[in-house]
Structure 1
Amino acid sequence: MLGSVLSLLSAFFWASAVILFKKSGEVFSPISLNIYKSFVALILVSLTMVILNIPFFPDKPINDWLLLAASGFIGITLADLFFFIALNRLGAGLVAIVECLYLPSVIFFSFILLGENLSVGAIIGGLLVLTAVFVGSIKRKKDLDKTLKQRRENKNPLPGIIIGCLSMIFLAAGIVMIKNLLERTDVFWATLVRVTAATVSLLVLILFHPKRKQYFRELKFSKGWLIALPASFTGNYLALLCWVAGMKYTTASRAAILNQMSTIFIFILAAIFLKEKITVNKSIAILLALTGACLAIFI
């Protein structure tokens, strides 16, 4: 039950951060935003470990360090970089549909790498959650025509969709590959190693990038920090820790089903804080998703 609760909390925190990250994308490029939020997560996780007296250099085999570092590069450096590119190209609505690939990707990697099998309740629950995301993302014809017109005027969405799909595949692979390791590892230390590896690799990327001056300029203190800082705290500290802990304390497949609830939480939070209308489609989607989550947890 603990893993299920943490996975749901991760979805909630990530949903809260997505809208803020979208706003941050108007100030930061994907690379500078990725390194910014990784630095914030690194500082916050380090401070938490100091307060809780968790050792930074536990006596662990070198293979554990390398596996976590590889997970950080794949699941944070690559996955988050591609996610922010897709978010800028497609917008939050279309990205929400692309994110549906995360659940089947985790199930696939869990079966291949861990030999996990889903219960009947989990299968039905997962299908209900995926259906809910599709139903909730359906737009009225008027809004759809407007969106299609904007896409034609701006850019072809196909590259953004491909990049978003790669993001979900990298995200799934990056967490499933350390599932067994997490079961014998402190969550904070594992998160620290992953974030450190991601931060270092991003710094190397920036240093050798032809636009490095632009990226360093974007990282200077500005009004954009007022949006990026709370987004990073919520999405890359609270959500990240709950996500890793959820994977630790339940099966990867069940955690993924509950993580997919982030899209549904976005619908609800947008209605509460942005005064967006809860349509019939979104109401049906919320009911379907809640039902699916309950089936995944209790059956």
Structure 2
Amino acid sequence: MLELIATFRGELAALSAAFVWAMSSVVYSRVGQRIPPLQLNLIKGGFAIAMILVTLGLRGTFFPEIPTLSLLLLALSGILGIGLGDTAFFNTLNRLGARRTLLVQTLAPPLTALLAVTFLDEVLTKTAVFGISLILFGVAWVISDRVSETPAETQNLWQGTMWGVVSALSQAGGAVLSRAALAETPATPLSGALVRLVAGVAVLPLWMVWMPGAVKWKPVRSPRMWGILAVAAFFSTYLAIWLQQTSLKFAPAGVSQTLGATSPLFVLPVAAWTGEKIGLRAVLGAIAAVAGVGLLFS
């Protein structure tokens, strides 16, 4: 069992990150209606940076040694994937709703695989390609099931789709840069997550200066809301990015991003438990995606 975990630690980390992000998305879909995307990204990033610094301090690696090139690649990854990608994701979520947002996000894994093959010379086996295809097909079917679709999810379609494409491209580019930085270096996933977060959060104030008219800021005065944001940041940013970086260090970028895109599968049991009607398409899509996951672990 331990040998199996060690062999597939990158893939298991990606699935764990998908689960954590699925649970967090439920919270962010509601919080995002009260806090603007850029502000929400800045707050969650600030919380996560503090948590990672505490963790590194407790582990005695407060200032981890990272090669210069890896440091630069991780910083660029953070600016692209977190600074731009997460903000675009929250914009998409506000305009399309969770279902269509996650559908657009399925563009990220194939884009990541294409970039990794082009720039990192990664090679995917035929079985892996088939597994990735099954997962993407299954996730798309789960999300496109219209049984529980709400009228709000049909608004702002054009703007939301554009933000979604920007988010998918940013996430793909950020993942490939992280993979290049971590794969063959002594940099740890946690230190990589710290560099990405610092760079991603640092660029957000510059965005505010660059587009002052497009950025709204709402004061958060409720202690309860701050508590919700802190808990959400712990799971969605601190823990999920740590797991994502672990996955990118030990698994091919395309495989990592594909498994990370299985979040909708973890939402299904929660939706069913809360009384939401789950259609046959969603069930069949989940079965196809699970079969694809099985192929990646074969």
Tell me the alpha carbon deviations over residues 114-145 of structure 1, each in whole angstroms, 9 at most, x when there is no partner.
1112212111111111111222123347x56x
Retained in 2: the 8 A contact 1:77–1:202? yes
Displacement of 1:210 after TM fit?
3.1
* Aligned counterpart in structure 2 of residue 80 of structure 1, from 82, 86, 104: 86
Retained in 2: the 8 A contact 1:191–1:241? yes
Displacement of 1:276 after TM fit?
2.0
Retained in 1: the 8 A contact 2:112–2:254? yes
Q: Distance in 2 between matches of 1:244 and 1:213?
A: 30
- 2:9 aligns with 2
Q: What RMSD, in angstroms, separates the aligned Cα atoms of the two structures?
A: 2.1
- 2:5 aligns with none
Asked if 1:192 corresponds to 2:194, the answer is: yes
Retained in 1: the 8 A contact 2:112–2:173? yes
- 1:235 aligns with 236
Asked if 1:34 corresponds to 2:41, the answer is: yes
Displacement of 1:282 after TM fit?
1.8
Matched AA of 2:164: G
Displacement of 1:219 after TM fit?
4.5
Displacement of 1:162 after TM fit?
1.4
Retained in 1: the 8 A contact 2:103–2:144? no
- 1:293 aligns with 293
Unaligned runs of 5+ in 1: none
Q: Distance in 1 between matches of 2:62 and 2:112?
A: 30
Unaligned runs of 5+ in 2: 1-7
Distance 1:221 1:131, change over 3 A: same
Displacement of 1:263 after TM fit?
1.7
Displacement of 1:108 after TM fit?
1.0
Where do 1:1-299 residues align within 5 Å? Answer: 1-58=8-65, 60-140=66-146, 147=151, 150=152, 155-183=155-183, 184=185, 185-206=187-208, 210=212, 215=217, 217-272=218-273, 274-298=274-298
Retained in 2: the 8 A contact 1:77–1:198? yes
Displacement of 1:286 after TM fit?
1.7
Retained in 2: the 8 A contact 1:69–1:194? yes
Retained in 1: the 8 A contact 2:175–2:257? no
Matched AA of 1:294: G
Secondary structure at the counterpart of residue 297 of structure 2: helix
Q: Distance in 2 between matches of 1:138 and 1:175?
A: 25
Matched AA of 1:186: T
Retained in 2: the 8 A contact 1:254–1:297? no
Q: Distance in 1 between matches of 2:118 and 2:275?
A: 43
Q: Distance in 2 between matches of 1:151 and 1:176?
A: 31
Displacement of 1:211 after TM fit?
5.8
> TM-score, length-normalised on structure 1?
0.89
Tell me the alpha carbon deviations over residues 211-262 of structure 1, each in whole angstroms, 9 at most, x when there is no partner.
69952x4345554334322222111011111011001011112212211211
Distance 1:100 1:138, change over 3 A: same
Matched AA of 1:38: G
Distance 1:170 1:279, change over 3 A: same
Retained in 2: the 8 A contact 1:125–1:257? no
Displacement of 1:16 after TM fit?
0.8
Calculate percent identity across the aligned residue pairs.
Answer: 27
Displacement of 1:156 after TM fit?
3.6
Question: How many residue pairs get matched?
Answer: 289
Retained in 2: the 8 A contact 1:23–1:227? no
Displacement of 1:25 after TM fit?
0.5
Displacement of 1:35 after TM fit?
0.1
Q: Distance in 2 between matches of 1:113 and 1:178?
A: 12
